[in-house]
Structure 1
Amino acid sequence: MFRRALLASPTLLAHRARAEAAWPSRPVRIVIPFGAGGPIDSIGRLLAELLRDRLGQPCLIDNRPGAGGSIGIRTVIQSPADGGVLLLTSASLASVPALYPGQGLDPRSALTPVSLVADIPTAMVVRADGPWRRVQDVVVAAKARPGMLTYGSGGAGSSNHLSGALFASAAGVRLEHVSYRGAAPAMIALFAGEIDMVFASTVETLPHVLGGRARLLGVATERRVPSLPDTPALGEIVPGYVALNWYAIAAPRGLPPPIVAKLSAVLASLRDLPEVKARFAAAGTVPLLTGPAALERLLESDVPKWQRVVAEAGIRGELGRTTG
C-alpha cells in the first residue's frame, strides 16, 4: 500500500511528467531485428539521422538479426519503457507470434505501437525466358501438377514465405516452398532453374526485372501500385489475396503517451521532406509515417491472419534466419 501511495504521490508524478516532457535526455537505440545492408536498414539509418537532428540526441542503429526477427523483437520487449529503446521492423512482426508461440512475442500485448513507416510491395516473379507470362498461367500449371511447382523466399517463416503460402491457399493450389538465406540467393536459384518463382520485395526483384532477367507477374496487393500501373495486383486475379508488407516503429509496452505522441509527431513531420521521398523511393518503398492508430489496427488484422496461414500450411519458425 505504501508503494502504491508513493507511486501516486504528486511529487513523483510531477517528476515523471518532467522526465517525459524532456525526452529524450540520452541517446536512443533503434533495434532492427535483421542484418545490416538491407532495405529496412537503409531506411532505419536515414530515420536515425533525421530524428537526431529533431530530437537533439544521437539515435543509434542496433542490428539484432536471427530467428526470423524474434531475437531483436524480444530485446525490445524486455527493455525499459522509457523511450530509450525503439524497434524498427517489418511485417514479420505480425507473424512472429504464430511462428514462435508461447514466447510472449505477440506485439498486440507486448509492444506499444508508434507508427507505420513505409509500405513495400511484395512481388511475384519468374524467369524472363520462362513459359509463364501471367499469374493465371502459373495457377493453371500448379493445378495441373499439384505440389510440383516451387517458390523461393528469403527464409523459412519470413514474410515472403508466408506471402507465397497465402497465395497458394487463396488460389487453391499446392506450391512447394524452398528456403534461402535472403532474397538474393533465392533470385540466383531462380535464374539457375532450381525453382519456378520467387516472392520477394520490389526492392529486391525490380532491378532484375529492369535488367531483363526476371518477369514481374504481379504484386501482393488488393489494388495496383501507382508506381507500377501496368503490373496487376494479385488481388485482382486471386480474390481475397492481400499480403501487405510494411515497416513500422514500436516500443516496449507501457511507453508513456506523451513520448508516443512526441515521437509519432516528429516522424509524421518527416513524411513530405524531399530527401525522405527520394530515399524511400530509392529503396522501393512508399513513406507512410502514420502514427500509432494505423499500426495498431494493422496488427489487429494481420496477427490472426498469419496465425491461420501458419496453422493451415504447417509452417514453423526456423532458428538462425535473418531476413525479413
Structure 2
Amino acid sequence: MQQIIRSTLLACGWAAASLCALAQQPYPGAPITLIVPFAAGSGTDAVARMLGQRLAERLQQPVLVDNKPGANAQIAAQIVAKARPDGYTLFMTTNTSHSANPALYRQLKYDPIKDFTPVARVGELPFALVVHPSVPAQSLAELIDHARANPGKLSYATPNSTSLVALESIKRIADLDIVGIPYKSSPQAMTDLVSGQVQVYVVDLGSGRSMLASDKLRTLGITTARPSALLPGVPPIGLTVKGFDLTSWNGIFGPAGMPPAVVSRLHTELQAVLADPSTQDKLAQIGFQVWPSKSPEEFARYVADQLTHWRRLIEQAGIRPE
C-alpha cells in the first residue's frame, strides 16, 4: 500500500511539474485542441479545419480539430467548460450552443456566459431552405400551399438549432402541419434529404453548397433578410414569410478563466488570419462569410445580445424547452 501511495505521489508530482513548466513557456508551447460540436463534414467543421491550419502556421504549433457531436452541441460544450483554462483547449462553436440551447432546454450542464471565455467572433454561415425534387414546389409560397393541402405528410430535418428554429418559425407563421425529425449531424440529414426520407431541410451552405448546385435538391430561399451573392437568384425567406430573418454565427471560445494575455494573443492571430484575402476566398467557397469581432470584449457583448435575441425567436416560434 505504501508503495502504491508513493508511486501515486510521484506521478502527481511529475504531472504538476509538467504543468508548471508548460505554464512558464511562452504561449503556445504545445499543440492546441480545437473542439467542434458537430460532425466532420458539417459547415462548422470545414471552417474550423481551415482556420485551424492557418492559425497553426502563425502560432508555430499544431491545431488539432476534435469533433464531439451530439446532444445539439451540449456534449462538446460540457467538455470545453470543464477543461483547464490554459489556452490549449478551444471551442469552435455557433449560436446553437451559446444562443439557442439555453432557451431550448430547461436544464443545461453548462452556462454559455459564466463557463466560457469569448476569444473571437469569426463570421456567419448562411442557411438555405431546400426540398427534395419529389416535392411539387418551385417557390416557398408553393411549398406552403402544398404543405397546407397535405397536412402531416411532409417531414423536415433538424440537426442543429438554426434548422430547428427556422422551420418551426415558418410552421408557426404560415400555420403548417409538417413533422420535424431530429438528426445528430448535418451530413446525415443531407443524406436522408437526397434519398427522400425527409422532404424539407434548412441547411448551412458550408455542408450543403455542392448539393445545392446539383439537381438532387431544389433551393427555395435563404434565411437572411438580404439576398446572398453565394446563391444568386435565391430570394430571402422573409419576402414570403414576413419578418423572418435568421443568421447563424460562428466564434471561438475557451474555458472560463483564461489568462488575458493568451486571449489577446489568440484574438490578434485570428484577426490576422481572417484579414488574409486568400483565407476569405477559401471560406467563401464553402459558403462562409467572414465577420470578425474587433476585440474579445466586443464578442462577449455580441454573445450576450444574441442570447436574448434567440430566446425571443424561440418563444415566437412556439418552441417549448425540453
Would the alpha carbon gap of residues 175 and 306 (structure 1) be closer, same or farther in structure 2, given more than 3 Å must change?
Answer: farther
Aligned to 2:172: 169
Aligned to 2:90: 86
**Alignment-mate amino acid for residue 30 of structure 2:** R
Cα distance between partner residues in 2 of 1:103 and 1:149:
31
Cα distance between partner residues in 2 of 1:37 and 1:150:
23
1:77-124 Cα offsets, whole Å, 9 max, x none, are 112222222111122122222344333423122212111223111110
8 Å Cα contact 2:120-2:299 kept in structure 1: yes
Unaligned runs of 5+ in 1: 1-18, 317-324
Aligned to 1:41: 45
8 Å Cα contact 2:126-2:222 kept in structure 1: yes
Aligned to 2:111: 106
Are 1:115 and 2:109 matched, yes or no?
no
Cα distance between partner residues in 1 of 2:70 and 2:134:
35
Are 1:138 and 2:143 matched, yes or no?
yes
Alpha-carbon offset, residue 315 of structure 1? 5.4
Cα distance between partner residues in 2 of 1:24 and 1:56:
8
Superposition pairs of residues 1-324 of structure 1, within 5 angstroms: 22-93=26-97, 94-128=99-133, 130-153=135-158, 155=159, 158-290=161-293, 291-307=295-311, 309=314, 312-314=318-320, 316=322
Alpha-carbon offset, residue 20 of structure 1? 9.3
**Alignment-mate amino acid for residue 274 of structure 2:** R
1:20-66 Cα offsets, whole Å, 9 max, x none, are 99332333222122233433223222222222222233322222222
Cα distance between partner residues in 2 of 1:169 and 1:295:
31
SS across alignment from 2:273: coil
1:190-248 Cα offsets, whole Å, 9 max, x none, are 34444331111123333223221211111111111122231111123222222212221
8 Å Cα contact 1:91-1:245 kept in structure 2: yes
SS across alignment from 1:271: helix
Q: What is the percent sequence identity of the aligned residues?
A: 28
**Alignment-mate amino acid for residue 201 of structure 1:** D
Cα distance between partner residues in 2 of 1:49 and 1:192:
34
Alpha-carbon offset, residue 129 of structure 1? 5.2
Q: How many residues align?
A: 297
1:155-190 Cα offsets, whole Å, 9 max, x none, are 3x5432232112322434343212344334434433
**Alignment-mate amino acid for residue 108 of structure 2:** Q
TM-score w.r.t. length of structure 1:
0.80
Would the alpha carbon gap of residues 166 and 106 (structure 1) be closer, same or farther in structure 2, given more than 3 Å must change?
Answer: farther
TM-score w.r.t. length of structure 2:
0.80
Would the alpha carbon gap of residues 210 and 258 (structure 1) be closer, same or farther in structure 2, given more than 3 Å must change?
Answer: same
Cα distance between partner residues in 2 of 1:301 and 1:237:
27
Cα distance between partner residues in 2 of 1:101 and 1:222:
30
RMSD: 2.8
Cα distance between partner residues in 2 of 1:20 and 1:271:
29
Cα distance between partner residues in 1 of 2:27 and 2:138:
54
Cα distance between partner residues in 1 of 2:164 and 2:61:
38
Cα distance between partner residues in 2 of 1:275 and 1:127:
34
Would the alpha carbon gap of residues 278 and 241 (structure 1) be closer, same or farther in structure 2, given more than 3 Å must change?
Answer: same
8 Å Cα contact 2:157-2:180 kept in structure 1: yes
Cα distance between partner residues in 2 of 1:190 and 1:28:
36
